[in-house]
Amino acid sequence: MGNVEARGYIDGYTYRYIGESTMKSSSSLMAHLIKGLDTLRFVILMLFHLKKEDKVLLYSYSVMLLNIVLAVAKMKGFEVYYELNEHPSIHMPGFEIDENSSDDLRKLYKRFHKLTGILCISTSLKELLVKCGIAENKVHIVNMLVDPSRFEGLRKQPVEPYIGYCGAADNNKDGVNQLIEAFAMISSKYPRHSLYIMGPKRSDCDNETLAKKLGIDNKVVFTGMVNSDKLPQKLVNATVLALARPQSRQAKYGFPTKLGEYLCTGNPVVVTSVGDIPLFLNNEISAYLAKPDSINDIAVQLDKSLSDDNAIQIGDNGRKVAELNFSNEKVTSQLLNALNILDK
């Protein structure tokens, strides 16, 4: 359901929403006005309540907010850490960075070098920041976080078998079109299996027409948005979970959070070998890794996952990888180390 209280305590920690509300206004004008007021409240809070020994962890793609926090930190003396989980250009319009351009690297250094530390989600992000001149000891990798408890106690329900994908039906980010084409190559071998695309449709990705063109529109189910409380069971019910993410800047520098949830189900997972994924998963040991942008290889791995006698064991191995690397305990330890906080 998500948190609805504006302030309170969770696991012994005090939290507060600066805007004193967890609800976003349906009015665009009001939303912008409230955002401005919230920024002002945040500045006031920093000026009057933060001390030299405090630490601020900022997660925002607003350049203005970053500059404001750094300016106040210079006055007050507190530390500022920044969470970066994608390439800066993804959410910062006009902030294109070519890692082979010295001018672009200087621009990146100028943006981030005043921070006490930067928390990155991938090795590629860390390498990019170090390459631009930021000290390596200021850049820390903090893994993606998943909540295994969402899947505790869930068992497969008696439903028709399907391969599952969850997320926006996006072709550029998640290669849903490639997944549909790969499924078309093996669908006749597995006549009872459908492909479930669980998530909102993209107006610029007409994958329903693609499925019809391939003659499998009766086997590709576009469920639309699935409520977050019902999604874990939908994922558990799948025979196989798949993510055909193509090679891209977003894939190289980011890490798909949905992959953690896939793994937590214990189901076998087919995923393309992009970014840091091969650092955590081994082909046919903890997942089925396919070559990115190779529809044929994605189809081969889907076929293996559906016919392999070891698929259940591979799925269980994948679950163990998630528990070891993406658990609350692991990420908390990485976070405390990055923020230089003693873990008592």
Mean pLDDT by 10 residues, the chain (344 residues): 74 80 81 86 91 92 90 95 90 73 88 95 95 95 92 93 93 95 98 96 87 96 92 97 96 94 97 97 98 98 97 97 93 92 64
pLDDT at 1 (0 to 100) = 44
pLDDT at 95 (0 to 100) = 67
Instruction: Please name which of 185, 187, 160, 164 lies closest in space to residue 174, comparing C-alpha atoms.
Output: 164
pLDDT at 94 (0 to 100) = 65
Q: Which CATH class is domain 52-145+329-344?
A: alpha beta
pLDDT at 170 (0 to 100) = 86
β-strand partners of 165: 197
Q: Rounded to 10 degrees, what is the CA torsion of 37, 88, 91, 166?
A: -120
Instruction: Please name which of 218, 224, 222, 235 lies closest in space to residue 177, comparing C-alpha atoms.
Output: 222
CA distance 236 to 203: 28
- Delimit the CATH 3.40.50.2000 region(s) of the chain: 148-325
pLDDT at 4 (0 to 100) = 72
Per-residue three-class SS string for the chain: CCCCCCEEEECCEEEECCCCCCCCCCCHHHHHHHHHHHHHHHHHHHHHHCCCCCEEEECCCCHHHHHHHHHHHHHHCCEEEEEECCCHHHCCCCCCCCCCCHHHHHHHHHHHCCCCEEEECCHHHHHHHHHCCCCHHHEEECCCCCCHHHHCCCCCCCCCCEEEEECCCCHHHHCHHHHHHHHHHHCCCCCCCEEEEEECCCCCCCHHHHHHHCCCCCCEEEEECCCCCCHHHHHHHCCEEEECCCCCHHHHHCCCHHHHHHHHCCCCEEEECCCCHHHHCCECCCEEEECCCCHHHHHHHHHHHHHCCCHHHHHHHHHHHHHHHCCHHHHHHHHHHHCCCCCC
- Delimit the CATH 3.30.750 region(s) of the chain: 52-145+329-344
Q: Which CATH class is domain 148-325?
A: alpha beta
Instruction: Judge whether 56 and 75 are in contact, CB under 8 Å.
Output: no
pLDDT at 174 (0 to 100) = 94
